[in-house]
Chain A
Amino acid sequence: MRNFEHINAPDLQTAIALLSKPATEAIAGGTDLLGELKARLRSPQRLVNLKTLSQLREIRYSPRAGLKIGALVTLAEIERHSVIREKFPILAQAASSAATPQLRHMGTIGGNLCQKPRCWYYRNKLFACWLKGGEKCFAEDGENTYHAILGAERCHAVHPSDLAPALIALDATLRVVGPDLDGEISVEELYTKPTASRRQMTVLGPGELIAEIYVPLPKEGARGIYLKAMERKSWSFALVSVAAQLSFEGERITDARLVLGGVAAIPWRAKDSEKILTGQKFSEELAKRAAEAALAGAQPLQGNAYKVPLARNLVKRALELLVASS
C-alpha cells in the first residue's frame, strides 16, 4: 500500500470534518479497507481512525426502546452478547456466520454494513470495471459464479454483508451523521443500486458515517432465522443467504419480512413473498409459493443459475424451520 497520514479522531464532529476532505477515508476494524489499500485499489492520503470514538462502542438494550448498537461494536461482540442471542437470534446468527473468528474480532458492524463488494473484477486492479468508473462490467460475459441474479443493471456485483439482511428483516434503523446531517434512516434505505452518476452501493456521501444502529424489539412471539449457503464451512461470503422474521397470531402469520443476501447489489427484500405469507396460516404449499415468488424475477447469467434453486430452497427451509421451532 502507499503511505498515508493516520489521524486518530478525537470526537465525532472532528471525524466528520476530516472525512469531508478529499482523499480521506475512515478506518475502524480495517478488515475491508486494508485489502483495498494493499491491492492499491485506492490510495487515500489520510486515514481517520474511528476506533478512538469510545461512545460508539457500546451495546445498550432496554425492553421498551429495543437495541442500540454503536457502529464500532465488533461482530464478535454481537455474536456473543447474551441479550442479542436471546432476543435477536437472527442478528447473532448473521454475525457468527461472517468471515472468521479473527476477522470478527476486528470487523465492526458499521464497517460490515458499508463494505465494498467482493466481485473479483472490482477487487482486481487490472480491471477498470464500471463500478470503479470504467466502461463495462466484466462479469457480464466473464466469470460470474458468485454474481447477482436479481435486479442487476450495469453492475453485477452482490452486496456481501451478512448483517444487512438480518437488520433489514428486523426493521432496524440507523443514525447517520455527516457535515450537514444527523438523522435516522432505515437500514433498507441505506442501500441503493449503483447508478452511472453514483457508483456505490450505499447512499452515504463524503463525510457521512453510520453512528448507531437501532433495532426495535420484535413483537411478542416473533421469530427470526438467518441461513447462509457457503462454499466452505467458514470464511466464505454468502453464495445466497436468507434472513426471515415472522410474527404470528395463533397459527396465522401477521407480519413477514424476508431479505436475501448474495443475490443482488443490495440486500434483496422479497416483498411479494412477504405479501403471500402475511395473514395466512403456514403450510408447506404456502412456503413453496413464497419461495417461488422471491425468485420470480431472477435473471441469472451463464455461471450463476444455480443460485436460483439454491435461494428458493433456502427461503423455503427458513420458513419451515421458523414454523417448526414454534
Chain B
Amino acid sequence: MPKVIKTKTEFEGRVVEEYVVVEGEGLSAWEAQTPLRFVGKRTPRIDGPERVTGKAVYTSDVQLSGMLYGKILRSPHPHARIKKIDTQRAEKLPGVRAVLSFHNTPTISFRRQTFLFDQIVRYVGDEVACVIADDEEIAQDALELIEVEYELLPAVFDPEEALQPSAPKVQPDGNLLNGQPEIYQRGDLAQGFARADVLIERTFKTQCALHNCLEPHGSVALWEGDSLTVWDSTQHIFGVREGLARLLGLPLHKVRVIKKYMGGGFGSKNNLGKYTVIAALGALRTGRPVKILLDRHEENLATGNRPSSIQHLKIGAKRDGTLTALELKAIVAGGAYCLWPPSVGGPARQLYACPNLKTEQYTVFTNTGPLSAFRAPGYVEGTFALESVMDELAKELKMDPLELRLKNYTEIDQTTGRPYSTKGLREAYERGAKLFGWTSLKKKGQGVRGRLRRGVGMASQIWSGNGMPPAYAIVKINPDGTATVITGTQDIGTGTKTILAQIAAEELGFPIEKISVEIGDTQLGLYAPLSAGSMTVASVGPAVRGAAHDARHQLLDVAAQVLEVPRESLTISDGLFSSPALSECVAVPEVLKNLENFMIIGRGAREPNPEDVAVNTFGAQFAEVTVDTETGEVQVERIVAVHDSGRVINPLTLSSQIEGGIIQGLGYALFEQRIVDRNTGVVLTDNLESYKVPTALDIPEIIHEMIDRPDLKANNLGVKGVGEPPIIPTAAAIANAVADALGVHIYELPLTRDKVLKALGENHA
C-alpha cells in the first residue's frame, strides 16, 4: 500500500522537505563484498553506436512533415518599455506564417517576474517577438522587418551598484531577491573571532560563466487535435510537461514531452524555457509543427549562466589551526530574473568543523542575462574563496595546507548535526596526496627553472549526495527472455541508459545484451525527477532495481511452477534457471514459451531518504602548474582527483564525468568569462571564439581514482552522485597552485595574463 511520508532532500546546497508517496519494501543495498556481474564493471554505452554514427535523433534533428521554424526577436536594450510593435512588414514577407508578440498571445506569467512576451524588457537578449516561417533564413530576414518602438529605461549591470538605493529597479519590488539577504548563522561569531590567534580577511571575485552546451536549447511542438507533443532538449521532461500544461491550460494527459538524446545541459536546461511555450503557441496558430532552435549567439545571451560573485570572507583560527569562526558575505549577480539563489555559502557552512559561523548572501537583480543552475551552482564559486583563504591561513600558520584541512575535519554535518552516512574525504586526501606526491613536492618548495615557476595546490569538495523520491520504474520481461526497463528519466549525456541497463541486468540475472531501456517520454514513462543535482542514478536507479527485483521474483514464481521444482531452490543467473532439482540449466525462453504471450511486469519505486544521516559526496583534487613569469601564462601540468561518490556503477561513464568536470573547472579557472559591455549591457563574448572553453591542447594529465565504497544507508544501490562533484574543487586547486608558484595569491578568477602579470609586479611602466 502506498505510504505518504515526509522526506528531506539536499538539492544543490539546499535542504528541502516534502511529502512523497512511497511504496514497496525497501531492498537493502548490495554490500561491498557482494559479487556482482554488471554493476561496477566498465561498460561501454549501450547507445554509443547510434550516437557516434549520427543516427540518434536529438531535438535538433527532429524533422516533421510541414514543419515551420521560429526565430525570436530579442531586445537590443538592457531595460526598456515596448511602446509599440509593428509586425506588418514582417508578416508580408513571403514565407512568413505568423509573428507572435504580446499583441496576439495570451498573457502568460513566467517565474512571476516576467511574461512570455513582456512589455518591459530587462536585459539585452530578452524576448520581444517571434517569427514563424518556412525556413530559418526567412524567419531571420523577417526579424529585421519588425518595427519596435522602445522607451528606454535606466539600467544597472553591476550587482554592487544595483544594491544602492538610488539604483534603477530591475524588478518592481527592488533589486534584492526576496527583499532581504539570505542569512545562516550558528554559534557566536564575535566570541569566535575573539578567541582566534590569527585572523584573515579577504575579498574574492568570480566571473560569470556560460554553459555553452554543444547542443543548443530548442523545442519542436506538434499539435494533434487537442494533444500537444513537444520534443525538447531538457533535463526534466516531467517538469516541462507540468509547466506547459499549467501555462497553456491543458490537462496533463494531453501533453507529451519527449527527449531521447541530449548534447549537454549542465543545469541550463533544468526548467521550461520561453522558446518551448512560443513553439507550442506558434504551432497552434499556424496549424503546423514548429521548431525553435536557439543559435550560439542566443546561447550566450539568454540561456542562463553561473553568476559572478563577490565574496568577503573572514576566518579566525587558533595557532594550532583549529577554526574558531568564519564569516562570509556574498553578493551574487542574479541577472534580470532569478528564482533561487545559488548557495555560494554552502562550502563555508559544511566543509569544516567550525562552531561559530555566519553566511550572508545578497542575490541581486541586474539588467543582464538571468542566472541558472550551472554544475554545482554556488559551490564552485564558494569553494574557490574558502579553499583559497584556507591556504592563506595555512601559510600564515606555517602549516601544510593538507594538515590544516585534516585539523578541521568533521564527521558530523555542521548544518544539521547529523552524522554523515559515509565520508571518504580523509581517504581521498591520503590517496590523492600519495598519487600526486604531495609531501615531497611540498617539501621541495617552489621550483624555479629560469622564467618558469612551478607550484602545487589542492582543494576539497563537498556536495549533496543522494537522490530523491518519487521515482518509478517498471521492468517488462518478454517471452523471448529479453527485458525492457521503462522509466521517465532522461539521459542528459551522462550515460544514464547504460547505468540503468547494468542495474536491471544485475538484479534480474539476465545478460546485459538482453536489456533495453526506454526513457525520455512522459506519455510512456513513469515519473522520475529532473536530471540535476547529481541525482539521476541515486533517484531512478533504486526504482529500477526495485522493478527488476519484483520482475525476477515473479519470474521465479512462474518458473518454479512450470519446471515443477521448489520455488526456494530456484535461482537465475546469466538468463539461465538453475536448481539442485534440475539436471541442467534452463533458459528463460524455454520456460516462457509455453505461456503464450505471458508478460511479467515488475514495479519499483524509490524508497524515502534516510532521516538520521546526511548523505554527501566528498573529494580532493591536487594541481601542479607552471607559471611563465614573463608572459603570465599558466600551464596546468597535472590534476589528481580522488572522489567519494559511494558505489561506482560504471567506471567508464564515471570517468567521463570526472574528466569533464575537471576540464570545465579548468576553463573556469583560466579563461572562461562572459564579458558584458559596461556601458550598454551587451554580451560581447557571444560566440565560441571569444568565450573561450578549453581546447584539447589545454587539457593536462588527469589522474583520478574513486573511493568506491557503497553507502549502505543512502539507497538500495549504495550510490551517491558524481555529475557535479568533480568541477567543484578544480579552480580552487589550480588557484592555490598558482599562488604557490607566485608566492602571492590572486583573489579573482579567471587567472588571465593581466592578473598574473600584475601579481608578478609586471606593469606598464
Which residues on A sit within 8 Å (CB–CB) of B34?
A: none
- A143 & B675 in contact (Cβ 8 Å cutoff): yes
Contacts of B679 in A (CB 8 A): 138, 141-142
Cβ contact within 8 Å between B137 and A1 = yes
From B76, B124, B677, B695, A143 is in contact (CB under 8 Å) with: B677
Q: Is A167 an interface residue (CB 8 A)?
A: no
- Could you tell me the distance in whole angstroms from the C-beta of B709 to the nearest C-beta in chain A? 37
Contact of A126 among B144, B680, B685, B694 (CB under 8 A): B680
Q: Chain A 129-153 against B: per-residue CB contact (8 Å), 1 yes, 0 no? A: 0000000001001110100000000
In the assembled complex, the Cα of A121 lies from the Cα of B752 at a distance in Å of 21
Q: Which of A231, A234, A305, A309 has the most CB of B within 10 A?
A: A309
Check if A121 sits within 8 Å of B631, measured CB to CB: no
Whole-angstrom distance between the alpha carbons of A112 and B428 in the complex? 50
Chain A contacts of B696 at CB under 8 A? 234
Q: Which of A118, A127, A143, A303 is within 8 Å of B689, CB to CB?
A: A118
Beyond A124-B682, A141-B679, A314-B631, is A306–B692 a contact (Cβ under 8 Å)?
no
Contact A317 B682 (CB under 8 A): no
Residues of A contacting B630 in the complex (Cβ-Cβ under 8 angstroms): 313-314, 316-317
A120 beta carbon closer than 8 Å to chain B:
yes
Contact A239 B753 (CB under 8 A): yes
Check: B632 CB closer than 8 A to any chain A CB.
Answer: yes
The answer to the question of B427 belonging to the interface, with a C-beta cut-off of 8 Å to chain A, is no
A309 & B685 in contact (Cβ 8 Å cutoff): no
Per the 8 Å Cβ criterion, residues 678-692 of B in contact with A are 678-680, 682, 684-686, 689-690, 692
> How far, in Å, is A126 (CB) from chain B's closest CB?
5
Q: Please, which residues of chain A bring their CB within 8 A of the CB of B297?
A: 39
User: Beta-carbon contacts of A29-43 to B below 8 Å, as 1s and 0s?
Assistant: 000000000011000
Which of A3, A100, A124, A235 is B684 in contact with, Cβ under 8 Å?
A: A124
B758 lies within 8 A of chain A by Cβ: yes
Instruction: For residue B677, give the distance in angstroms from its CB to the closest CB of chain A.
Output: 5
A142 touches B692 (CB 8 A): no
Q: Main SS of chain B's interface residues?
A: loop
For the complex formed, measure the closest distance between the CB of B76 and the CB atoms of chain A, giving whole angstroms: 5
Q: Are B753 and A229 in contact (CB under 8 A)?
A: yes
B111 at the interface (CB under 8 A from A): no
Give the shortest distance, in Å, between B700 (CB) and chain A (any CB).
11
A235 to B451: give the CA distance in the assembly, Å: 25
Contact A232 B763 (CB under 8 A): no
Residues of B within 8 A of A231 (CB): 671, 692, 752-753
CB distance from B670 to the nearest CB of A (A): 7
Cα(A39)–Cα(B695), bound, Å? 24
Once the chains bind, are B694 and A232 in contact (CB under 8 Å)?
Answer: yes
A298 contact set on B, CB distance < 8 A: 764
Set of chain A residues within 8 Å of B197, measured between Cβ atoms: none
Q: Are A232 and B698 in contact (CB under 8 A)?
A: yes
B697, A234: Cβ atoms closer than 8 Å: yes
Interface centre among A124, A138, A141, A308 (most CB of B within 10 A): A124
Measured in the bound complex, the distance between the Cα atoms of B690 and A120 in whole Å is 8
Cα A50 to Cα B274 with chains together (Å): 43
Q: From residue 286 to 324 of chain A, which have CB atoms closer than 8 A to chain B? A: 298, 300, 303-306, 308-310, 313-314, 316-317
Q: Does A233 contact B (CB under 8 A)?
A: yes
CA distance A120 to B692 in the complex (A): 14
Which listed residue (A2, A141, A142, A306) contacts B758, Cβ 8 A?
Answer: A306
The reply to whether the CB of B611 lies closer than 8 angstroms to some CB of chain A is: no
Given the interface pairs A142-B677, A233-B695, the reply to whether A121 lies near B684 with Cβ below 8 Å is yes
Q: Which of B632, B679, B684, B686 has the most chain A CB atoms closer than 10 A to its own CB?
A: B684
B689 to chain A, nearest CB (A): 7
Number of interface residues of B (CB under 8 A): 39
Interface residues of B in 726-765 (CB under 8 A from A): 752-754, 757-758, 762-764
Chain A: CB-nearest residue to B138? A3
Contacts of A235 in B (CB 8 A): 689, 692, 695
Contact with A along B620-631 (1 / 0, CB 8 A): 000000000011
Q: How far is the CA of A299 from the CA of B757 in the complex (A)?
A: 18
- Compute how far the CA of A127 lies from the CA of B677 in the bound complex, rounded to whole angstroms: 11
Q: Counting CB contacts under 8 A, is B31 at the interface?
A: no
- CB distance A126 to B76 under 8 Å? yes
Which residues of chain B have C-beta atoms less than 8 A from A100's C-beta? 695
In A170-196, the 8 Å CB interface with B consists of: none
A313 neighbours in B (Cβ, 8 Å):
630-631, 762
A62 to B32, CA, bound (A): 73
When distances are taken between beta carbons in the complex, the residues of chain B under 8 Å from A239 are: 753
B638-678 CB mask vs A (1 if < 8 Å, else 0) is 00000000000000000000000000000000110001011
Closest beta carbon of chain B to A302's beta carbon, Å: 10
Nearest residue, chain A, Cβ from B688? A235
Chain A residues near B680: list those with CB within 8 A.
126-127, 138, 142
Q: Is B298 an interface residue (CB 8 A)?
A: no
Instruction: Report B29 CB to chain A, min CB distance, Å.
Output: 43
Contact A306 B686 (CB under 8 A): no
B684 — nearest CB in chain A belongs to which residue? A120
Q: Name the B residues within 8 Å of A229 (CB-CB).
A: 631, 633, 753
Query: Scoring A residues 78 to 107 as 1 if CB is less than 8 Å from chain B, else 0, what string do you get?
Result: 000000000000000000000010000000
B758 near A138 with CB under 8 A, answer: no
B23 at the interface (CB under 8 A from A): no
- Whether A233 touches B752, Cβ cut-off 8 Å, given contacts A305-B764, A306-B758, A313-B762, is no
Q: Is the CB of B754 within 8 A of A303?
A: yes
Interchain CB contact under 8 A, B690 and A142: no
Q: Is the CB of B632 within 8 A of A143?
A: no
Q: Tell me which residues across on chain B come within 8 A of A310, comparing CB atoms.
A: 631-632, 753, 757, 762
Q: A233 and B698: CB pair below 8 A?
A: yes
B762–A142 CB distance below 8 A: no
Task: List, in ascending order, chain A residues with CB within 8 A of B695's CB.
Answer: 100, 232-235
Chain A: CB-nearest residue to B699 = A233
Interface centre among B675, B754, B758, B764 (most CB of A within 10 A): B764
Q: Measured between C-beta atoms, what is the minimum distance from A324 to chain B in Å?
A: 11
- Closest A residue to B682 by CB, please name it: A126
- Asked if A283 is an interface residue, CB under 8 A from chain B, the answer is no
Given A3-B137, A124-B682, A145-B754: A309 touches B762 (CB 8 Å cut-off): yes
CA A313 – CA B629 in complex, angstroms?
9
Answer whether residue A236 sits at the interface, using C-beta atoms and an 8 A cutoff. yes
**Are A308 and B764 within 8 A (Cβ)?**
yes
- Please determine whether A138 and B753 come into contact, CB atoms closer than 8 angstroms: no
Report B672 CB to chain A, min CB distance, Å. Answer: 10
Q: Is B215 an interface residue (CB 8 A)?
A: no
Shortest CB-to-CB span from B6 to chain A, Å, is 49
How many Å lie between the Cα of A304 and that of B297 in the bound state? 25
Cα A47 to Cα B259 in complex, Å, equals 40
B660 to chain A, nearest CB (A): 17
CB < 8 Å: which of B76, B677, B697, B757 contacts A138?
A: B677
5 further A-B contacts with Cβ under 8 Å, apart from A306-B632, A310-B753, A317-B630, are A124-B686, A127-B682, A232-B694, A232-B695, A298-B764
Nearest 6 Cβ contacts at the A-B interface = A233-B697, A306-B754, A313-B630, A309-B762, A120-B684, A305-B764
A interface residue numbers (CB < 8 A to B): 1-3, 39-40, 100, 118, 120-121, 124, 126-127, 138, 141-143, 145, 229, 231-236, 239, 298, 300, 303-306, 308-310, 313-314, 316-317
22 examples of A-B residue contacts, CB within 8 angstroms: A2-B137, A40-B140, A40-B144, A118-B689, A118-B690, A121-B677, A124-B684, A127-B682, A142-B677, A232-B694, A232-B695, A233-B698, A235-B689, A235-B692, A235-B695, A239-B753, A298-B764, A306-B762, A309-B757, A309-B763, A310-B631, A310-B753
Binding site for A on B (CB under 8 A): 76, 124, 137, 140-141, 144, 297, 451, 630-633, 670-671, 675, 677-680, 682, 684-686, 689-690, 692, 694-698, 752-754, 757-758, 762-764
